[in-house]
Amino acid sequence: MTGTRMSPGQIAEMVYRAGAAPWDLGEPQPIICQLVALGAVKGNVLDPGCGTGWHAIEYARAGCSVTALDVAPTAVHRARTNARRAGVTVDFRQCDVTNLDAFEGHFDTVVDAKLYDNLDTAEDRLRYASALHRATRPGARLLMYGFGPGEVNGVHNHLLDEPDYETVLPAAGFAITYIGQTTYLLKGFERICAACPQQMPDGPVHIPMTEIHAIRLT
Ligand SMILES: C[S@@+](CC[C@H](N)C(=O)[O-])C[C@H]1O[C@@H](n2cnc3c(N)ncnc32)[C@H](O)[C@@H]1O
């Protein structure tokens, strides 16, 4: 065993291959369906860290032109299959979202569903947010969901870094218009610390998430 640390994308690839991604519900998250129903997802849409594509498919169904990126090849392969079965067109690409040079000024809406909180360091998060700034139009909306504090029925997040949304996003040229708490569904959750509930339900559990809305400044 060497001391080389695996990247979040490499870990995700292993989890996808094992068929054990707790965030892969086989359908979109309820909060994403809600966003779409409210008409908040419009125009040229970027889904960074798209996983197996359920959210990108939802945006395409709503009539958006969707680009969806993930660094894990198994995720992208499954996302293409899922979109084909759903009968929608999405531009899925396998790439690292910290470099979006190919999309200069292109996107009207970015919906980041648990990608930002996957990135290892504050430097990675700033590089990513700066790449989003370059890839979006002035006035574009960034809607973000990442690990949040607190608990839902005893379920809490582990290895939670200091939430740095409020320093990183303005530094990258986004004005935050809303920041609040919501939940995300994960399946196959196991008790991993003494503070976790003694008994986890068999079905999906809600975990605490932070929801951020921001506007891309010029
Ligand atoms: C927690 S999963 C969320 C997947 C999906 N957005 C969802 O909500 O179901 C995070 C995803 O980000 C991807 N990812 C991690 N680092 C990445 C990077 N640097 N570039 C692109 N994708 C990345 C992982 O492969 C994984 O699919």
Q: What is the pLDDT of residues 17-57, one digit of tens each?
A: 999 999 999 999 999 999 999 999 999 999 999 999 999 99
Q: Residue 51's closest CA among 74, 19, 18?
A: 74
Say if ligand 1 is within 6 A of residue 21 CB: no
- What's the predicted TM-score (pTM) here? 0.95
Residue of minimum CA distance from atom 8 in ligand 1: 113
Going along the chain from its start, the domains and CATH numbers come out as: 8-13+23-216 (3.40.50.150)
Indicate the pLDDT class of residue 96, thresholds 50, 70 and 90.
Answer: very high
Q: What is the pLDDT of residues 103-143, one digit of tens each?
A: 999 999 999 999 999 898 889 999 999 999 999 999 999 99
Residue 3's pLDDT is 60
Give the pair of three-digit tokens for residue 112: 């980041």
Q: Give burial (CB, 10 Å; 0-12/13-18/19+) of 20.
A: exposed
Say if ligand 1 is within 6 A of residue 112 CB: no
Say if ligand 1 is within 6 A of residue 114 CB: yes
Residue 160's pLDDT is 57
Residue 157's pLDDT is 86
Indicate the pLDDT class of residue 1, thresholds 50, 70 and 90.
Answer: very low
Say if ligand 1 is within 6 A of residue 146 CB: no
